Amino acid sequence: MLLDHYNMPERVDALLALGDLSTLQEKLEPDPNLPHSFDYNERQEGVTVAYGRDRGETGTEARVATLADLNDESNWTEYVYVFDENNQWKYFKTGQAENGLHDVHDDLEKEYQQYDMQRPSGYYGFLDDEIVQYLKSKAETNEEHKDTEPSEFDFTDEDVADIEIMCAKHTLWLYEGSGEKLDLSGKKLLNIDFSNKDLCSAVLRDTEFVNCNFDRASLCFADFENAKFNRCSLKHFTAEESNFKDSYFTNCNLEGAYFTHSNFANAGLFNCNTSKTNLTNCCLQHWNCMPCNIDDSDMLNVSYSESEWLGEQESEDDQGMTMGGM
């Protein structure tokens, strides 16, 4: 992050002017026309969150510190980063300043070389074997599709009229017994806006969505098995009792999404925003979620056994039918 986005004195000065930070992102300044605060529901994606500016705290200004202060292991800092007179980022491990400064760029390159790969663009998380495997797979996919033209997609934003007609027919199918059920199985979609649409029970198996918008859309009982979501926004998206088995989400925003009673067996979420995502009573057998923060997600009664979970769903359905027939 520092190497790619804070490598000039002007950028570093602007960073220091914010004082204490909650989270460092690619951008410093939020869009003034949109809310941006410490609250997860009002954070702009990719924008730094500062305790003073965005939370209203006082005493958060940048401070002058001595080397002894920075090297003190009791200050809750694991590494200290220094922007030197040559506009290079250096660092030392707290408590080991006497060993001198290390070069951030060089050591980061060495770390990736241990895994026989180059540092990928836009990834700023930690490394382990699983994440490296994912990053390599993603790099191979990007290489395969680097020359992909929008025309290779079945639907793009240029086809908005066709998409709107299909969605309207689906609404008729849902509520009036006419129209036609939406089935985009196996299709590739680019820049399609599904926000606020009611597409419950749609069939979207093996569908690939790239840079699509599902904000506040409703797709309960939908079939997304083996679907792929790349750079999609699904904020406050609702998909209860839906099938996401073997699906993959990459660089997606799922903030506040509601997935209760859905099947995520063998699914993967990579580098996604999962803040306040609701996964109550979902099946999570063999799912991967990295590096995603699910600390504030609702994981009540999740199951890590698909067979047990399916049995529970059938039992609940039977009970509902019995009660309904009484």
Domain containing residue 256: CATH number: 2.160.20
Strand order in the sheet with 79-83: 79-83, 89-93, 102-103
**Domain range enclosing 251:** 154-326
The strand pairing partners of 248, in sequence order, are 228, 268
Domain count, the chain: 2
Q: How confident is the model at residue 189, as a pLDDT?
A: 94
Residue 320 has pLDDT above 60, yes or no: no
Q: Could you report the per-residue pLDDT of 124-166, keeping only the tens digit for each?
A: 877 878 788 878 877 776 665 555 555 589 999 889 999 999 9
Q: Could you report the per-residue pLDDT of 44-56, keeping only the tens digit for each?
A: 888 999 999 998 9
Q: How confident is the model at residue 152, as a pLDDT?
A: 81
Which tokens in the block code for residue 114? 């241990």
Confidence of residue 324 (pLDDT cuts 50, 70, 90): very low
DSSP conformation class of 245: T
225 and 298 within one domain: yes
Residue 317 has pLDDT above 70, yes or no: no
200 and 275 within one domain: yes
For 310, phi and psi rounded to 5 degrees? -60, -40
Strand, coil or helix: what is 87? Answer: coil
Residue 323 has pLDDT above 70, yes or no: no
Tell me, yes or no, whether 56 lies in a domain. Answer: yes
Q: Tell me the residue length of the chain.
A: 326
Whose CA is closest to 206, among 179, 192, 186?
Answer: 186
What's the rounded mean pLDDT across residues 215-224? Answer: 96
Q: Is this structure's pTM higher than 0.75? A: no
Cα 61 to its chain centre, rounded Å, is 30
Q: Could you report the per-residue pLDDT of 82-101, keeping only the tens digit for each?
A: 999 999 999 999 999 999 99
Cβ contact 205:185 at 8 Å: yes
Exposure string over 71-108, b if 16+ CB within 10 A, otherwise e: beeeeeeeebeebeeeeebbebebeeeeeeeeebeeee
Confidence of residue 37 (pLDDT cuts 50, 70, 90): confident
What whole-number distance in Å separates Cα of residue 54 and Cα of residue 62?
15
Confidence of residue 322 (pLDDT cuts 50, 70, 90): very low
Q: How confident is the model at residue 66, as a pLDDT?
A: 92
319 and 173 within one domain: yes
